[in-house]
A and B are shown apart, each in its own frame.
Chain A
Amino acid sequence: MSEIFRHLNDLIDRVHYLQDIKGEEWGGCPYILEELLKLKDRFYEVADDHLEDILKSLESRLEILEERAAKDLTPYEIVKITRNPQRFTLLDILENVYDSYTELGGEGETNIDPAMVCARAMIARRVGGKVYLHQVIVIGHEKGHGEEYRTGGSAKPWGNEKALRYMRVAETEGIPIHFYIFTPGAYPIEDYPGAAQQIARNLYFMTKLRVPTVAFISEGGSGGAEAIGLADIRLMASCGYYSVISPEGAAAIEGKLKEGERPPRELVEFCARQLKITAEDNLRLGTIDRIVPEPPLGARRNDYQFFKRLRYEIIRATDEVVLRTKSLKAFRTYALRRKKEEENPPEDFDVYVRWELSEVEIEKLLDLRSKKYRSMTRWAVKVPKSSLKSCLEKTQDFGARFYHDLRYGVLKQGQKMLQRLMEEVSSEGAVLIKQVTEPFKAVYDLLGAKGKRPRPKIVSSEEQALEDMGELYVSPLALEDRTVTCPNAERYGCPDIWVPDLYGEFCGVCPNCGYHFPLEYEWYLKNVFDAKSVKEFNEDIASGNPLGFEGYDKKLEQARRRSGRRSGIITFNAQVGGISLMVAMLIADFRQGTVGVAEGEKFIRACDRARIMKRPFLAFVHTTGGIRIHEGTLGVVQMPRCTMAVREYIDAGGLYLVVYDNNSYAGPVASFLGCSPYQFAIRSTRIGFAGPRVIRETTGEEIPPDYHSAENALRRGHIQGIWDRRELRKKLYQALLTMGGKNLYYR
């Protein structure tokens, strides 16, 4: 009797699940549900045999409906499957995939962040009747089954910090990490350590994490997913989604909706389709490595067959990562490849692979990871083929690499040794000569033959270096004959400012309160760097529409026409006071400085060029609105890609500086900008993870108007200083000298 009752309840759950995905009135769902509920009410009045017969017939009808539903699942319906409370969560995986586990850094509600679960776990592998236990660290988001305190799997900054802490533990112990991504996005608050800054720190660390890592994505919500997503192999659930933004968020932007307005269902469906968020799409785009098959309508928390499959896939993926680093692996790789074809994963594995790596293997692992992320999305880069210019650039690059390797590699070492030797000899010599000549000098001074010679005047090299500015640049904004009001006029009583003065002599700064009015990026090109020192490269790399997002081509064309640029980033060589440096500048004029494939590629190339040419690297953010949503996950993976390039540049001894201006938000701040040890902001800029509207809509909390101000960012420790625009050139020069030290290549 109880079994029939359980069966009945299970069928009711299945109908509810189907209704959640396809809509309340879809197919014959309401009729079946009504019948089931009636049956539940009269459960004890109906005979068992009759009950079973009815249930069987209803179940067969439900199965037909489920089959029909699974055949034409839209991307938005997949999103609904992923978000369904009946879907499996990380704790279900820990219970069913791993043999035993101990939660680290908190349990349940008693936790620094219940949305982020870290555990030390054991996973068993049977080979020929023998059981091998592997130790792993499991890190992932826990959505919970309705628990409010889990914040739906949105990890707070300190949750991501906790993840980083246990990544370090895994590295110390040399055991692999399995990441499980179940997040709609990071919890967008700026409190220390800061949503964006902490994700950036995680990414920076994961680029060179010295253990094998495998990530499994069920719900991959942009930056929140990347915080624990940079892995050697990325698996994805067949009914999961991985996206740059939620379809609702994209619909609100596309439909230009006001705050609080609900986007129409058709627009949400359209955006979900255009964003290419499904597992198949992501596999095709190359942002994931493999799909883990689920039951047709997605796995739920009691789908034990799926857990078996997941266990097999996760072990196999870890094996694969480990075997790639081995020199002797042919047979084992073959054995693994053979398994790939199998529909049903076997209980037993053919091979046992030890997951510990030697130092040489770790180096190979890191090298492979770097190659993996560097090559990701490269297919989508739009570069004009076989043009004379690109050939010339390639030759130039090769020449520069050869020259700098020779100069700073072979010759520099010898030169350094010789220089040190000469310094030693001259210091010794100076002491010896001083001992001999001291008595004579004393007698000479006593006789006072001549007055002391005047000391030469010390001319500040800084003044000399910064003097040369070439011809004066006048901002086109200064050509209007009118006044403007400072936004702080009411608070500080600032008088109206005459525009030619403001954008000319005052450099766009209110002389009374110091408020910085936005200026065009050309102003910085002309006023910060030495005259005629700016030499742009890779300007041919153009932003495209790799996802074929409807209507986006037109917007791109508009941006191109308006800005005269092909992408939202300018990369160039320049000099500040005679110091050569490499600069990547994200500009507001082209799609609000959002980062897509082209921008990511140009940034990486600039970073690599700085490494090859041994130059300091400056990322100047005129404005960035985050990752470009029209490029979907191709944009999101620019976060790990660019961070990888930055990490390799810094590890090679480079000096990486970031200067923020105007507005800097989201993905770029949460990756290749936020990971810099030296970040500065120009006064009146805004820096953060999500804008005020997103914060209000996701957390339901009001934030003060100055929440993202540079002052608050400095107070929270996200940046290292605030610079005045009028002193930017001087401050940058000082920063290059003081922070450069021995790591500054140009020395």
Chain B
Amino acid sequence: MAFDHQEINQLLQQLRANPYRYHVVTTPHTGYLRRFLVKEGDRVVGPSGKWLERPGTGLFVLERERNEKIIRAHTTGEVYKVHQRYEGQFVEAYQPVLEIRHALTQEEIIAELLQKSLHIVKAPEKARYLLAPQLARKIEKEGEGRVVIQPGEELVIMSFMKRETPIVHEGPPMVVFRVFFSHQQMVEQGAPLLGLCSQKELPYIQKLISRIKEEWPE
């Protein structure tokens, strides 16, 4: 991904102006919206527990064919807007009925920025991954964000059922900015493995991160 300074600055500005993510809750199907279980300003939590076994806060009751269903929050945040006019009314499917405002954490903002600014190497299939030995040695010696990889150099080794496949770097020389997996970890298909950036962009990203860490509350 090309590094667009303007776009990043714009994003940062936007985030600073409004450090929230808004989740619009819609009705899953038609029915009568019997009552809201929350009011504006209430704090709600999304599913929790190790296996997300505890359901989120109940938001409203939707009834269809005498089947009362509690629609629950999928995200943690504050109830920002409740469309009270729908209470007791018949609603169509996918009708927005309330909004949840989720305050972005420092980690979430950094992750979002990195997603936009880094070149992400994704896992081609579900397998166990390990850094190529040469790269691992270099990173261990110099640390993340300092090692430059050349085109054709081995990045990671995908290991599954005694089959080992190397993944090589294609494109211009880049710096390994982040390693998103631990040694021999089982990674799902499509999950990020490495975050790369060009040498030129490196100081800018580092500065960006340090600024977010300084400016943003924990």
Contacts and interface: CB of A to CB of B under 8 A. Distances in A.
Contacts of B64: 483, 496
Contacts of A43: none
Contacts, number: 24
A343 interface: no
A451 interface: no
Nearest to A692: B53
A704 B53 contact: yes
A485 B64 CA distance: 10
A408 interface: no
What size tier do the contact residues of chain A reach? 10 to 19
B67 A484 contact: yes
A481 interface: yes
Q: Is the interface of A mostly helix, strand, loop or mixed?
A: loop
Q: Is the interface of B mostly helix, strand, loop or mixed?
A: loop
A482 B65 contact: yes
Contacts of A454: none
A481 B66 contact: yes
Contacts of B51: 704-705
Contacts of A484: 67
Contacts of B67: 482-485, 496
A498 interface: yes
Contacts of A485: 67, 69
Contacts of A705: 51, 53
B200 interface: no
A342 B63 CA distance: 77
B217 interface: no
A261 interface: no
A489 to B, nearest CB: 9
Nearest to B70: A485
A72 interface: no
Nearest to A498: B65
Interface string A439-482: 00000000000000000000000000000000000000000111
Interface in A495-510: 496, 498
Nearest to B72: A490
A693 B49 CA distance: 14
A737 B200 CA distance: 77
Contacts of A482: 65-67
A705 B69 CA distance: 21
A702 B65 CA distance: 37
B119 to A, nearest CB: 34
B183 interface: no
B28 to A, nearest CB: 9
B50 interface: yes
B7 to A, nearest CB: 36
B47 to A, nearest CB: 10
A473 to B, nearest CB: 24
A705 B51 CA distance: 7
Nearest to B52: A705
Nearest to A495: B29
Contacts of B29: 496
B73 to A, nearest CB: 13
Contacts of A702: 49-50
Nearest to B51: A704
Nearest to A705: B53
B49 A496 contact: no
Interface string A557-593: 0000000000000000000000000000000000000
A483 B49 CA distance: 30
A484 B68 CA distance: 8
A482 B65 CA distance: 5
A591 B139 CA distance: 64
Nearest to A704: B51
Nearest to A497: B67
Nearest to B74: A490
Contacts of B53: 704-705
Nearest to B69: A485
Contacts of A483: 64-67
Nearest to B65: A483
A557 to B, nearest CB: 33
A480 B65 CA distance: 11
Nearest to B54: A705
Contacts of B50: 702, 704
Interface in B61-83: 64-67, 69
14 contacts: A481-B66, A482-B67, A483-B64, A483-B65, A484-B67, A496-B64, A496-B65, A496-B67, A498-B65, A702-B49, A702-B50, A704-B51, A704-B53, A705-B51
Interface of B: 29, 49-51, 53, 64-67, 69
Pairs A-B, 10 closest by C-beta atoms = A482-B66, A483-B65, A483-B67, A705-B53, A704-B51, A702-B50, A482-B65, A482-B67, A485-B69, A705-B51
Given A496-B29, A705-B51, 5 more contacts: A483-B64, A483-B67, A496-B65, A702-B49, A702-B50
